[in-house]
Amino acid sequence: MVLVGKVNKEIVGNINHCGGRAVGLSGRDGDLVCAEKLQVSKKTDAAALVNAPPELIDLGRVGRVTRINAEILRSLERDDFIPVIAPVGVGADGQAFNINADLVAGAIAAELKAAKLILLTDVAGVKDRQGSLIHSLLSADIETLIENETIVGGMIPKVRCCGEALAQGVTKAHIIDGRVEHAILLEMFTHEGVGTEIV
């Protein structure tokens, strides 16, 4: 209700107020984002001792993307509409699943073979171990930077979804601070940019 009925419609209203032609969608509309329940497990000390399977953690109605049906997006694009998509997917039985918005964006960008995937967040971008912004990053280096704990916490799913989108045909991905005024323009049209570009 919050993602689809409130936040989505506020964004649509703001875009339309500024002269755009936005249409609000959820992943359930036209089966745009097909999903399944996210399975999460963790190894317990007891399981390690007896060689038992890991313990499954039930996250409720949290899902992962299985498929994107982009026909509805292509129809909107032909008529110059801007789709605003709430990250809610639909399961095979019609059940709704909440999905990480970055992962939905990455999956949609990959399906559309987008030129760019831009993730707006509340941090400057990917930082090195000294806290300095990494302006450019190779997707091939992502897992190494996760393993050596340069990339940690909530930045891990962001860089992984960028890496997956790039592997599936997206040309470039950017992680930038959406709180910075004109952040997208500064990232696109200045030499260093204001965030992290992943290629």
Q: In the predicted model, what is the mean pLDDT of residues 159-181?
A: 95
Q: Which CATH class is domain 1-99?
A: alpha beta
125-167 confidence digits (pLDDT tens) = 999 999 999 999 999 999 999 999 999 999 999 999 999 999 9
CB atoms within 10 A of CB 67: 14
Q: What is the pLDDT of residue 44?
A: 62
* In the chain, domain spans: 1-99, 101-199
Domain 101-199 has CATH 3.40.1160.10: yes
Angle between helices 71-78 and 101-112 (to 10 degrees): 70
161, 103 contact by CB (below 8 A): yes
User: Whole-prediction pTM value?
Assistant: 0.85
Q: What is the pLDDT of residue 49?
A: 55
- CATH topology match: 1-99 vs 101-199: yes
